Amino acid sequence: MFTAHSPPRGVTRSSRCSCARCGGSSLVPARCRRAAAAAAAAPRAFREGSEQPPQPQQQLDAQFQAGQGSRLSRRGMAVTEKKAKLAPWRHDVGPLGAQEIDIRVTHNGLCHTDIHMRDDDWGVSKFPFIPGHEVVGVVVAVGSGVPKGGLQPGDRAGVGWISGSCRACAACLRGEENVCEAGYTGLIVNGHHGGFQDVCRVHADFAYKIPPALDSASAAPLLCAGITVYSPLRRHLTRPGMRVGVLGVGGLGHLALQYAAKMGADVTALDVAPDKESESRSLGAHQFVTWDTATAEKGLQGHFDLLLNCASAKIDAGQLMSLLKNNGTVVQVGIPGGQPLLAVPLQDLVFGQKKVAGTIVGGRADMQEMLQFSAINGVRPMLEVMPLSKVNEAMAHVASGKARYRVVLTSDWAEEEPEPGQQQQH
């Protein structure tokens, strides 16, 4: 199973909005989403928080001038040809662009998408390239055009799947770059390099401040898996007490359970494995039902207002829709392999006024809001942590389906001395 990464709102909140526009008078309504979009471009600075005390700026500058942030030659773990194992590789970067930033990478989430890109399953990989699109680290350099109120050296920042868009269409102006009318740019498509390197260069507008209450290891998977389930809940969970089903308690589903519960829904976890009941309830599910029981003759037909399908297997659309109330919505979050088609029973669709929707990651407005929501409400992924040097073993672990629930890779590059006469970035 993989999450679809190709060219995708009033919800009641459990915590009040903190933006200056509404002064805390609203529960993060749609009118505050524009403020969230603006914050994504030039948000308030956060520091490393509880992970480690902030270092003096002079010390950070000295480390940058002498360390890996200053190099025009970058080290990474790259795929040099289709389906090849990742191997150490160097690439050169030019001068820092006015709107770009350099991030010294500390953590990477590992997603099925990195594996599909390695194998060029979608025909958009250009070799060699460096995977990694759930990237967290510390800013070491900013371009001359990055606003002073935006990201600065020493700030923790994260980067997700989207690294660029037209920024001019109606969707982009709403902060919904994930449905950019011209199509967005993926961080690691067509030869672009992601986070499996020592220093990652990205456009500042698509890098996000990590709140101090959110540790870097937890933040990394939220930048793809988290936003993938947060966005559809943000759109379709329109009132408290809605009956929400999450099918597939895995890398995506275990986060969806937490978000739905924190948004005030009546949450049911659905899975083929009965041994996931205890974990599902600990993550916020009010009920746990096996898929066989839910779809039995006297199952949960007509039960849900909203059903998120996060499962990895191909599932009959008629079964999914049968679990919906009239006016209910089923959201297809992932896409099983093999380019499957969805056969929708029109009688049920029409007479039940039901809806079938898709979703694709999230734009800048949702991304910054999701990080804040996660920090405030304690939404955290369940993690397995491995060093980046073990990335091939980690990919095999994920591909085998043995990961439970997300894998995070920590950077373990050996320190290097600057090369004599090496050019410095300013």
Residue 179: count of CB within 10 angstroms of its CB: 20
- Supply 120's token pair: 């060029």
Whether residue 331 contacts residue 304, with contact meaning beta carbons closer than 8 Å, is answered with no
Whether residue 1 contacts residue 112, with contact meaning beta carbons closer than 8 Å, is answered with yes
Is it the case that residue 174 has pLDDT exceeding 80? yes
**Residue at token pair 């993989």:** 2
The arithmetic mean of pLDDT across residues 363-377, rounded, is 98
Domain extent for 399 = 72-224+363-410
pLDDT score of 52 = 44
Is it the case that residue 225 has pLDDT exceeding 80? yes
Within-domain flag for 47: no
Is it the case that residue 253 has pLDDT exceeding 70? yes
Do 211 and 255 reside in the same domain of the chain?
no
Is it the case that residue 186 has pLDDT exceeding 60? yes
In this prediction, residue 39 has a pLDDT band, given cuts at 50, 70 and 90, of very low
Do 184 and 147 reside in the same domain of the chain?
yes
CATH classification at residue 258: 3.40.50.720
pLDDT score of 425 = 37
Contacts 24+ apart (CB under 8 A), 282-286: 283/249, 283/254, 283/257, 283/258, 284/257, 284/258, 284/260, 285/246, 285/257, 285/261, 286/261
Do 85 and 117 reside in the same domain of the chain?
yes
Do 266 and 369 reside in the same domain of the chain?
no
Do 350 and 369 reside in the same domain of the chain?
no
In this prediction, residue 130 has a pLDDT band, given cuts at 50, 70 and 90, of very high
Is it the case that residue 21 has pLDDT exceeding 50? no
Do 308 and 394 reside in the same domain of the chain?
no
Element (H, E) at 118: helix 112-118
Do 285 and 383 reside in the same domain of the chain?
no
pLDDT score of 111 = 94
pLDDT score of 144 = 95
Within-domain flag for 190: yes
Do 275 and 173 reside in the same domain of the chain?
no
- CA nearest neighbour of 397 among 405, 413, 274: 405
Do 302 and 374 reside in the same domain of the chain?
no
pLDDT score of 12 = 37
**Could you tell me what percentage of the chain is helix, strand and coil, using 3-state DSSP and rounding each to the nearest 5?**
30, 25, 45
Within-domain flag for 109: yes
Within-domain flag for 31: no
CA angle 332, 129, 202 (to 5 degrees): 75
| Number of domains within the chain | 2
In this prediction, residue 197 has a pLDDT band, given cuts at 50, 70 and 90, of very high
Do 369 and 329 reside in the same domain of the chain?
no
